[in-house]
Amino acid sequence: MAAYVRQLWGRRQFVWVYAVSRNAASNSGNFLGEAWNVLTPLLNAGVYFLVFGLLLDTKRGVDNYIAFLVIGIFFFEFCARAINVGSNAIRSNLGLLRSLHFPRAVLPIAVTLTSLQQLLYSLVVVFAVVLLTGEPITLYWLELIPAVALQTVFCLGLALLFARVGAHLPDASQLLPFATRVWLYTSGILYSVDRFTEGRPEWLRIVLDVNPGAVYVNLARRALIDHNYGDLSTWLLAVGWSVGIFVIGFLVFWQGEEEYGRV
Amino acid sequence: MSDAVPPLDPDRVPTVIVDDVHLRYRVVGKSGGGGAPAALRRLLTRQERPGTRVVDAVRGVSFNAYRGDAIGLIGPNGSGKSTLLRAIAGLMPPVAGAIYTQGQPAMLGVSSALMRSLSGERNIILGGLAMGMSMAEVNEKYDSICEFSGLGDFIDLPMKTYSSGMGARLKFAIAAARSHDILLIDEALSTGDAQFRRRSEKRIKELRDEAGTVFLVSHGLNIVRHTCNRAIWLEAGKIIADGDATQVVNAYEARHDPESLEEHLAALRASGARLVEESTESDG
């Protein structure tokens, strides 16, 4: 186990270059190239604004709904992507697995880093939206740094976990997008959990708030539009989820190490 | 060790011992049939899909390889050459038998790590890191890789704009940049022009001196003649002949002509090569 971690550390440069190259490769076919890193989230934000802000007018008691929505979508997408790309990490790199020796955890880690990179690009859009909707720049923004760090650890865990699932069950990549969509609708991304649970049983609010999808999004919203430190319980939940899922994901993936790449 | 392995030569250092190895892989072919309910039932009862076929790629192969050997693996498509190579590299476990190696075998399979839409330059870095070099080592070797590939200004262009020969040159240049204990090369040299072929043959000889043992899978029989001292002829997962490269290649070339094949086999036998007669072999 210790040896495995050491080997993995020895491959850190490969992980990094592989992650960055993958992202560059996925954009290289277009005329606008790397600009799509920012354009895609920008267009996404535009669509959500059109549908939920103008057509449906689903403000539901949220002050700055557009910023609320855009932050929610992009931070949640990071978790959802970790599951979806994680489950494909082994299957889509079979050729690589079968021809070179390296600790297999390199692959889910690299896809998570690619995904993190996409989040960081979309933060440009998030900042623009937050400022344009009249929120000030405050020191609370710095909270994003630990929040994103914790979320990244959590997503690494998810990617490792689902990489093993996807390696054994190819059909998982068809099913998981539905699961992540359900997760999206139950995580208070499109609506405020506080508003939704008014007049409903207390346990429902607790369940919805403990849900990791909501935890990381809430931290980001607190930092950017609510202007306060997240309350202690949310931070503790964030730490708990990241450490817990990361340890579980790593162990589960590591136990399957010998099996990856076989048909 | 089973008695299938030929006796070891006491004067030489063995690097790879392949002991009665059987290799098998599963192919998920046509759909299972019976539609969704049947597929679900199979999933629940953990049954094998009926469409899954088991292919016995290698069926009982034994040989020893020594330091300084360059061994060409020849045979028709589907005879198990590449599968055997993968097993020696430790990337595929044998279902029966065992493979012992001294040192870590490395496969020249770097091509799978490269990305076609990125420039040659970036792929050199990516490929080098994928083979386990450090960033410093890659930077140090970068110029010699560029020069060896002979790509010139094309190095800045995306790999998908390369001709197949240029792509092969870049892949070989990256892969051969490092010396290994046991080197496994799978069809890396079949493309590329005459000049590059000469250069790569020279490089294989160097690698052989540095490394000890080189395995080469190729349909380019002349490459096997020029670079290998020994050849193993595989057919349907079994060894037909194992001996001097030129003689085995000659016999292989004559395989469609029974008379001259007999002559070549007789010559091989006389030179002390190991021949496995197809007719006397019983299926395991």
Tell me what the mean pLDDT of segment A62-75 comes to.
Answer: 85
Angle of CA points A37, A246, A226, to nearest 5°: 60
Per-residue pLDDT, B279: 41
Class of domain B14-108+176-275: alpha beta
Examine the pLDDT at B51 and tell me if it is beyond 60. Answer: yes
Whether the predicted pLDDT of B70 surpasses 80: yes
Measured between CA atoms, the residue of chain B closest to residue A106 is: B130
The answer to whether the complex's ipTM is over 0.85 is no
Please state, rounded to an integer, the average pLDDT across all residues of chain A.
85
Q: 3-class SS at A100?
A: coil
Instruction: Return the DSSP state at A200.
Output: S
What pLDDT sits at residue A262?
Answer: 61
Q: Which residues of B touch A (CB under 8 A)?
A: 25-28, 86, 89-93, 104, 106-107, 109-113, 115-118, 122, 125-126, 129-132, 134-135, 158
Parent domain of A206? 2-259
What residues in B contact A102, CB-CB < 8 Å?
A: 130, 132
> pLDDT tens digits for B173-224?
887 777 677 888 876 565 667 777 788 778 777 877 776 788 888 877 888 8
Digit-coded pLDDT (tens) for A25-57: 777 767 777 778 788 888 887 888 788 777 776
Q: Which residue of B has its CA nearest to A99?
A: B109
Find the chain A residues whose C-beta atoms sit closer than 8 A to any C-beta of B: 10-11, 13-14, 17-18, 21-22, 24-25, 28-29, 93, 95-102, 261-263
Cβ neighbors of A201 (< 8 A, separation 6 or more) are none
- Predicted confidence at residue B46, as pLDDT, reads 63
Residue A127 scores a pLDDT above 80? yes
Residue A187 has pLDDT above 50, yes or no: yes
pLDDT of the residue at B222: 82
User: In the structure, what pLDDT confidence band is assigned to residue B280 with cuts at 50, 70 and 90?
Assistant: very low
- Residues A28-31: contacts with CB within 8 Å, 24+ apart? A28/B117, A28/B118, A28/B158, A29/B117
pLDDT of residue A250: 94
Verify whether the Cβ–Cβ distance A25 to B104 is below 8 Å: no
Residue A248 has pLDDT above 90, yes or no: yes
A232: Cβ–Cβ under 8 A, 6 or more apart, which residues?
none
pLDDT at B166: 82
User: Which residue, among B123, B129, B137, B185, would best test binding to A if mutated, counting the most A CBs under 10 Å from its CB?
Assistant: B129
Q: Between A262 and A81, whose confidence is greater?
A: A81
Distance CA A100, CA A106 (A): 12
- Out of A25, A93, A97, whose CB is closest to B117? A25
Q: Is B23 helix (H, G, I), strand (E, B) or coil?
A: strand
Residue ranges per domain, chain B?
14-108+176-275
Q: What is the pLDDT of residues B135-165, one digit of tens each?
A: 888 888 888 888 888 888 888 888 888 887 7
Q: What percent of chain B has pLDDT over 90?
A: 2
Mean pLDDT within A64-70 = 85
Structural domain count, chain A? 1
